[in-house]
Amino acid sequence: MNRPISEIVIVGGGTAGWLAACLIAARADADAAHPIHVTLVESPDVPTIGVGEGTWPTMRRTLERIGISEAEFLLACDGSFKQGSRFDGWVAGGDESYDHPFVPPIEGEPAAIVEGWRLSGDRSFAATVATQSNVCAADLAPRQRAMPDYAGALNYAYHLDAGKLAALLTRHATEKLGVRLVRDHVVGVDRVEDGDIAAVRTRGSGEITGDLFLDCSGHTALLIAGEYGVPFLDRSDVLFNDRALAVQVPVADDSPIASQTIATAHRAGWLWDIGLPTRRGIGCVYSSAYASDDDAAGILADYLVGAMPGVSIDDLNPRRLAFRSGHRERFWERNCLAIGLSAGFLEPLEASAIVLIELSLNALLDNFPASRDVMDIHADRFNALFRYRWDRIVEFLKLHYLLSRREEPYWRAHRDPASVPQRLVDLLRLWKHQPPSNRDFPAIEEVFPAASHQYVLYGMGFAPPEPGAIRIGTLQHTTAMLRQVEQRGRSLVASLPTNRAYLAALRRDAGVVDLKEHAS
């Protein structure tokens, strides 16, 4: 039981598997008494899911830790900057819109900030308390080229091509970080007497033995479900969407690139619209209980007519995807840890999947089991922490639906009290009297902190609380800070390049470098 953990076997080569391989190999100490070796097994028969284009600001630190430069990443993955999400038509189905930016509101007591906003006129909450909405409205980048890698004038993440990210991580892991790649299909598992996994058996490459097995096999959940039978907790009673129809539309190389994921509500779900330098990724997410596949195709076609005149769905070869919102009851079982889709998936409304992969890997590496005999302690802690996180994400996603006033059957069903987690019901009662605060979200690394809840709540027209019996002490200071937000917003808009200008210059410069390399 006290054997060291040095052989890590990853089953699956999608975003989860390759992020795991890169992060573990990059953080492993080659001089350790029992150095870590990473092997990744990837089936040639099972394709990766191939979607997942919106990330979280955590991705900057992840890439930096892996040792990939920002320019290399942006160029290799057709990447662009993401500074949050814009929600169109969610409140009443009209042309109303609100932002969930990555920059939090100004620092201070939430009650004072919300009261400062209430008194400041009729600008939106997001545009009043943070600068990012103005920057996004002008399709601007969050940084200047001269800034150090991964630093920004504003907090940001990326939009990317998922297939290209997996290819970049594969190259980097195998060529620079010493990860062993086995391209073979896993057909079975060998266990030792105590129940741990000893090896995975492949079709043509024999057995691959290990101390810790990461199940990154996607929806198959080969080890965590197939081998250990850990139950799946279905959350579709809260989150109804279970289908998506996705297209990729090429764009002109001088077209504007949006700074946010644009999420447009429709009668039975919503559409995503993600701008990359060479194309837009557009998809219709829907609930099969409220819309047929043909209905979804019609909704997507209508959206394209409005968003990209001249583009017809008939020329685009849409991809259909089916999913179930839910997650495993436990994620770490014996010496097997599930990361990515094998651990679970909640509809992609707030791009919470890749960030959970990153957080899972950070949790593993920040508490890496020194030997097998302490692994179960780490597993118990991991399971408790991630159960908390999945529960909070379910509630946060539900909030977007619950506050809507749309009247179609799908939206009315979302407001049925039977579909709303009790904790969210209680919080909404509380938020009538006080804004969301860190006291509602006390964990150290909340995926969606109080600020995110404030943006959604007040963006969707939830009434800010009236002042209560206790005086708000810092209002004067808050009002002055809100004025500064306005000034700083104006100066950022005047100084930042557009996304298109930034990324075009990056490409031009890379082209110059390539040509020089070619000539020498």
Ligand X SMILES: Cc1cc2nc3c(=O)[nH]c(=O)nc-3n(C[C@H](O)[C@H](O)[C@H](O)COP(=O)(O)OP(=O)(O)OC[C@H]3O[C@@H](n4cnc5c(N)ncnc54)[C@H](O)[C@@H]3O)c2cc1C
Asked if 13 interacts with ligand X (CB under 6 A), we say: yes
Asked if 326 interacts with ligand X (CB under 6 A), we say: no
Asked if 322 and 296 touch (Cβ cutoff 8 Å), the reply is no
Asked if 499 interacts with ligand X (CB under 6 A), we say: no
Asked if 12 interacts with ligand X (CB under 6 A), we say: yes
Per CB under 6 A, contacts with ligand X among 169-188 are 185-186
Amino acid identity for residue 433 in this structure:
H
Among 21, 28, 39, 48, binds ligand X (CB under 6 A): 48
Task: Tell me how far, at minimum, the Cβ of 81 lies from ligand X, in Å.
Answer: 15
| Helices and strands (H and E) in the chain: how many | 15, 21
Asked if 155 and 57 touch (Cβ cutoff 8 Å), the reply is yes
Task: Tell me how far, at minimum, the Cβ of 447 lies from ligand X, in Å.
Answer: 11
Asked if 287 interacts with ligand X (CB under 6 A), we say: no
Asked if 126 interacts with ligand X (CB under 6 A), we say: no
Among 103, 354, 375, 496, binds ligand X (CB under 6 A): 354
Q: Which stretch binds ligand X (CB under 6 A): 349-357, 379-387, 431-439, 510-518?
A: 349-357
Asked if 281 interacts with ligand X (CB under 6 A), we say: no
Q: Which stretch binds ligand X (CB under 6 A): 8-16, 92-100, 133-141, 286-294?
A: 8-16
Buried b (16+ CB within 10 A) or exposed e, 130-144: bbbbbbbbebbbbbe
Residue bearing tokens 């999947």: 353
For 121-237, where are the E strands, in sequence order? 157-159, 180-183, 186-191, 197-202, 207-209, 212-215, 232-234
Among 24, 26, 36, 52, binds ligand X (CB under 6 A): 52
Closer by beta carbon to ligand X, 73 or else 323:
323
Among 21, 26, 54, 406, binds ligand X (CB under 6 A): 54
Among 14, 142, 152, 318, binds ligand X (CB under 6 A): 14
Asked if 275 interacts with ligand X (CB under 6 A), we say: no
Q: Cβ contacts of residue 470 below 8 Å, gap of 6+?
A: none
Asked if 218 interacts with ligand X (CB under 6 A), we say: yes
Residues in the chain: 520
Closer by beta carbon to ligand X, 14 or else 435:
14
Angle between helices 58-66 and 353-366 (to 10 degrees): 50
Tokens of 334: 């014996």
Q: How far is CA 404 from the centre of its chain?
A: 23
Per the DSSP assignment, residues forming a β-bridge with 42 are: 183
Asked if 165 and 16 touch (Cβ cutoff 8 Å), the reply is no
CA distances from 421 to 208, 238, 398, 475 (A): 43, 7, 9, 34
Distance CA(417)–CA(352), nearest Å, equals 24
CA distances from 485 to 249, 364, 369, 490 (A): 36, 38, 45, 9
Note if 516 is an active site residue: no
Full DSSP string of 402-455: HT----SHHHHHHT-GGGS-HHHHHHHHHHTTS---TTTS-STT-SS-HHHHHH
Task: Tell me how far, at minimum, the Cβ of 310 lies from ligand X, in Å.
Answer: 25
Among 332, 431, 430, 449, which residue's Cα sits nearest to residue 389? 449
Distance CA(176)–CA(190), nearest Å, equals 31
Asked if 49 interacts with ligand X (CB under 6 A), we say: yes
Among 10, 24, 43, 431, binds ligand X (CB under 6 A): 43
Q: What angle do CA 399, 400, 403 make, to 5 degrees?
A: 75
Closer by beta carbon to ligand X, 330 or else 372:
330
Asked if 348 interacts with ligand X (CB under 6 A), we say: yes
Asked if 321 interacts with ligand X (CB under 6 A), we say: yes
Closer by beta carbon to ligand X, 47 or else 467:
47
Per CB under 6 A, contacts with ligand X among 403-432 are none
Task: Tell me how far, at minimum, the Cβ of 396 lies from ligand X, in Å.
Answer: 14
Residue bearing tokens 């009297």: 433
Task: Tell me how far, at minimum, the Cβ of 367 lies from ligand X, in Å.
Answer: 22
Total interface residues for ligand X by CB under 6 A: 35
Q: Which stretch binds ligand X (CB under 6 A): 24-32, 114-122, 211-219, 374-382?
A: 211-219
Closer by beta carbon to ligand X, 281 or else 435:
281
Task: Tell me how far, at minimum, the Cβ of 218 lies from ligand X, in Å.
Answer: 3
Reported as half-sphere exposure (CB side, CA atoms, 13 A), residue 30 has a value of 5
Asked if 351 interacts with ligand X (CB under 6 A), we say: yes
Closer by beta carbon to ligand X, 110 or else 281:
281
- Interface mask toward ligand X for 127-166; x: CB under 6 A: -----------------------------------x----
Asked if 337 interacts with ligand X (CB under 6 A), we say: no
Among 394, 377, 378, which residue's Cα sits nearest to residue 233? 394
Task: Tell me how far, at minimum, the Cβ of 207 lies from ligand X, in Å.
Answer: 13
Closer by beta carbon to ligand X, 11 or else 457:
11
Closer by beta carbon to ligand X, 53 or else 115:
53
Tokens of 14: 């999608």
Catalytic machinery residues:
82
Sites of contact with ligand X (CB under 6 A): 11-17, 41-43, 46, 48-49, 51-54, 162, 185-186, 216-218, 220, 222, 244, 283, 321, 323, 340-341, 348, 351, 353-354
